[in-house]
Amino acid sequence: MRYRCAVMAPELSSPRIFLLPEVVVNQIAAGEVVERPASVVKELLENALDAGARSVRVDLEEGGVKLVRVTDDGCGMGREDLELAFASHATSKLRGVDDLEHIASLGFRGEALASIGSVARCRIFSRQPGDDVGWQVECEGGRVSEVREAGGAFGTVVEVRDLFFNTPARRRFLKRERTELGRALDWLQRLSLAHEGVAVVGTHGAKRVYDVEADMDLRARIRRTFDAELADALVPVAAEDGDTRLEGYVAPPRFARRDTGRQMWFLNGRFLRDKVLIRCLRDAYHGFLDGPLHPVAFLSLAMDPARVDVNVHPTKSEVRFRDDRRLFGFLRNALAEAVRQTDAATPGGRLLSSLERRGEWRPPAGSAPRLPDPGSSRDPLVVREVAGKPLELPPIEDAPARAPGQGVDPWEARDELAGPYVVVDKTYIARATPDGLEVVDQHALHERVTFEELRRELSEQRLEVQRYLVPELVEVDRADVALASDHTELLAGIGIDVAVFGPTTLAVHGLPARLPRPDAQALVEGALAALRERGEAPTLADLLEDVLHRTACRSSVMAGDELGESEIRALLERASAIEHDQTCPHGRPTRVRFTLADLERAFHRR
Ligand code: ADP
Ligand code: MG
């Protein structure tokens, strides 16, 4: 991380810990830092990282209540440092008020060790690289011992035993061991994900519960921490705006969850739960994610510490950006770009898994559901059917022989979009793909195609408008008439040609030609609502996007339309030409695919 460890460099001469002057103390957003073992783990780990450690070990007992011990190989502390380590507002990371303007370290308030020391039995051993001896100090319920000479490896060991031994009231708030351990491990994982280059080991009792090696990159760390299916599906993000740098990964929409547990933002190595960043990411998934689910992403922001105020919240998990408008525009665009590149397909195997979870389907005994199965290489299915006709049993054909090694990679194989197509309920188109079976929702797909084509026309400045001989009249309220008349040019820019007709009436003279069944009322209302919501002058692309999100369904209706074979093919071809065709603009899937492996599972063949 570019801005890490700038303050506490090992070459600083000792003693380096100072008591903060009172004026600084009063300006610090102080708060309770020790709530549970997880807070101890977080604070001690952050200290180790601030000390430039390359290798950190965290040992826990009884969920961390009995023991949290963090061992690092960082810059260590000298004798005078240890004398001050447990004092309130004693820190090496901040000197004066001005330093609050550019905090590059994870800690800076000098409160953590003091708070921990007041509610536990603590011991610090530390030895600075190159020194012949190390030093040790104890603190029990706030009583600090003499500093004594002691032997040990370079770096620091901080041991925290019997948390809340002297405050039984707080001890009663602790949850079961498993819960406390889970929260402690959350911090271990978050900070490990945020700090490539640092090896982290976690143990609980005699068991090793977590480890990442120093040379593992973020994707490898995610694979180790969560699972391989997620890690493999991630799409990288890397963008720069001035000296602000965004890096990390976004996951395909299908990984979205009800909780935000797998949505991580790191700012200069600090884990954040910042509402604004969460909102940015949500915006980026707009149109790809349905309902109240939270996208999964691991994102790291590096910027000049002077451009962000981290001193606004006691847990430091919320911050204030100094130039937020520009930052959010930059983030939203970079993220949306990456989200569009994720594989948003809905694998049929996933549907099977969710049926399984609901108890409506059981996999054959002994089969381990793993999806999709990249190892499956079979001949293409042969389905004989003509669109719209009742389904008959397909004649059996000899599959063509395949040369050895000529496997078909699911999803990747060349798809000729060939029929025959089977249309069910005038809505769902089923057809064979090189590796299985695909069912398309023609309505949803058409909606997405229309949406993307309109966007492309707009960006290439060739948006076609269908003009009406007789304008269509739309009733709105007075305020909206005024709003429309203030923004006629903007609206015309996205193909909505309106003029004021009466105190509560607008005349629509033209609409985008792309829309097969433009609903003038819905489009105008959508556009006005978008204008109201955006407030400031939106860009044409943003406005179009908002309007389409609101009205795409009605204006590009196709469900129920009977499509002939050539129309189906044309729709599939148009879809294959656009960048993102796996969900409709509202985030519902446009297609569901069953690989051969899925079908085999469904029929208990494996
Ligand atoms: P802060 O991190 O806000 O400065 P802490 O109470 O967490 O406050 O730590 C106080 C000081 O102790 C730090 O500023 C740092 O100088 C020193 N320190 C704590 N842990 C370590 C460590 N693992 N290695 C080196 N120095 C440490
Ligand atoms: Mg600290």
Per-residue pLDDT band for 24 (boundaries 50, 70, 90) equals low
Per-residue pLDDT band for 392 (boundaries 50, 70, 90) equals very low
Neighbours of ion ligand 2 (CB under 5 A): 47, 107, 112
Determine the average pLDDT of the residues in 13-37: 65
Least confident of 117-126, 130-139, 344-353: 344-353
Question: Residue 76 C-alpha to ligand 1 middle, in angstroms?
Answer: 9
Q: Whose CA is nearest to atom 13 of ligand 1?
A: 91
Tell which wins on pLDDT, 7 or 149: 149
Question: Residue 159 C-alpha to ligand 1 middle, in angstroms?
Answer: 14
The predicted-structure confidence for 539-579, as pLDDT tens digits, reads as follows 787 788 777 777 665 555 555 678 888 889 988 998 888 87
Is the minimum distance from the CB of 117 to ligand 1 under 6 angstroms?
no
Calculate the alpha carbon distances from 93 to 18, 333, 594 in Å.
9, 35, 56
Structure token pair of residue 203 = 């143990």
Q: Whose CA is nearest to atom 18 of ligand 1?
A: 47
Is the minimum distance from the CB of 419 to ligand 1 under 6 angstroms?
no
Least confident of 66-70, 153-157, 460-464: 460-464
Query: What is the reported pLDDT for 54?
Result: 97
Q: Whose CA is nearest to atom 14 of ligand 1?
A: 91
Tell which wins on pLDDT, 123 or 12: 123
Element (H, E) at 566: helix 565-577
- Which atom of ligand 1 is closest in space to residue 47's alpha carbon? 20
Determine the average pLDDT of the residues in 316-334: 86
Query: What is the reported pLDDT for 381?
Result: 29
- Secondary structure of 302-354 in the HEC alphabet? ECCHHHEECCCCCCCCCCEECCHHHHHHHHHHHHHHHHHCCCCCEEHHHHHHH
Question: Residue 138 C-alpha to ligand 1 middle, in angstroms?
Answer: 15
Residue type, 336: A
Query: What is the reported pLDDT for 156?
Result: 98
Per-residue pLDDT band for 102 (boundaries 50, 70, 90) equals low
Is the minimum distance from the CB of 310 to ligand 1 under 6 angstroms?
no
Best mutation site among 17, 18, 50 for ligand 1 pocket (most ligand atoms within 8 Å of CB): 50
Query: What is the reported pLDDT for 587?
Result: 76
Helix extents (H) in 156-304: 168-171, 177-194, 218-225, 228-233, 275-284
Is the minimum distance from the CB of 24 to ligand 1 under 6 angstroms?
no
Query: What is the reported pLDDT for 206?
Result: 85
Contacts (Cβ under 8 Å, ≥6 apart) of 553? 447, 586
β-pairing, 263-267 vs 18-19, is unpaired
Determine the average pLDDT of the residues in 196-212: 95
Question: Residue 90 C-alpha to ligand 2 middle, in angstroms?
Answer: 10
Is the minimum distance from the CB of 526 to ligand 1 under 6 angstroms?
no
Q: Whose CA is nearest to atom 7 of ligand 1?
A: 112
Q: Which residue has the tokens 């009977």?
A: 562
Q: Are 583 and 340 in contact (CB under 8 A)?
A: no
**Most confident of the ranges 256-265, 399-408, 410-419:** 256-265
Question: Residue 547 C-alpha to ligand 2 middle, in angstroms?
Answer: 48
Short-list 159, 175, 174, CA closest to 124: 159
Beta strands in 377-435 (DSSP E): 422-424, 428-433
Is the minimum distance from the CB of 111 to ligand 1 under 6 angstroms?
yes
Q: What is the pTM of this model?
A: 0.67
Tell which wins on pLDDT, 120 or 344: 120
The predicted-structure confidence for 207-250, as pLDDT tens digits, reads as follows 999 999 999 999 999 999 998 889 999 999 999 999 899 999 99
Question: Residue 72 C-alpha to ligand 2 middle, in angstroms?
Answer: 14
Is the minimum distance from the CB of 85 to ligand 1 under 6 angstroms?
yes
> How many CB atoms within 10 Å of residue 343?
15
Question: Residue 341 C-alpha to ligand 1 middle, in angstroms?
Answer: 42
Q: Whose CA is nearest to atom 21 of ligand 1?
A: 47
Question: Residue 141 C-alpha to ligand 2 middle, in angstroms?
Answer: 19
Question: Residue 383 C-alpha to ligand 1 middle, in angstroms?
Answer: 68
- Which atom of ligand 1 is closest in space to residue 112's alpha carbon? 6
As a whole-number percent, the residues of the chain with pLDDT over 70 amount to: 79
**Most confident of the ranges 97-111, 145-159, 410-424:** 145-159
Query: What is the reported pLDDT for 380?
Result: 35
The predicted-structure confidence for 489-532, as pLDDT tens digits, reads as follows 889 988 899 999 999 999 999 988 887 777 888 888 888 888 88
Question: Residue 497 C-alpha to ligand 2 middle, in angstroms?
Answer: 60
Q: Whose CA is nearest to atom 2 of ligand 1?
A: 107
Calculate the alpha carbon distances from 231 to 202, 226, 228, 236 in Å.
21, 8, 5, 11
Tell which wins on pLDDT, 254 or 370: 254
Is the minimum distance from the CB of 92 to ligand 1 under 6 angstroms?
yes
Least confident of 96-110, 129-143, 527-541, 549-563: 549-563
Gap between the Cα atoms of 476 and 499, Å rounded: 12
Question: Residue 177 C-alpha to ligand 2 middle, in angstroms?
Answer: 25
Ligand having the closest approach to the CA of 48: 1
Start-to-end CA span in the chain (Å): 47
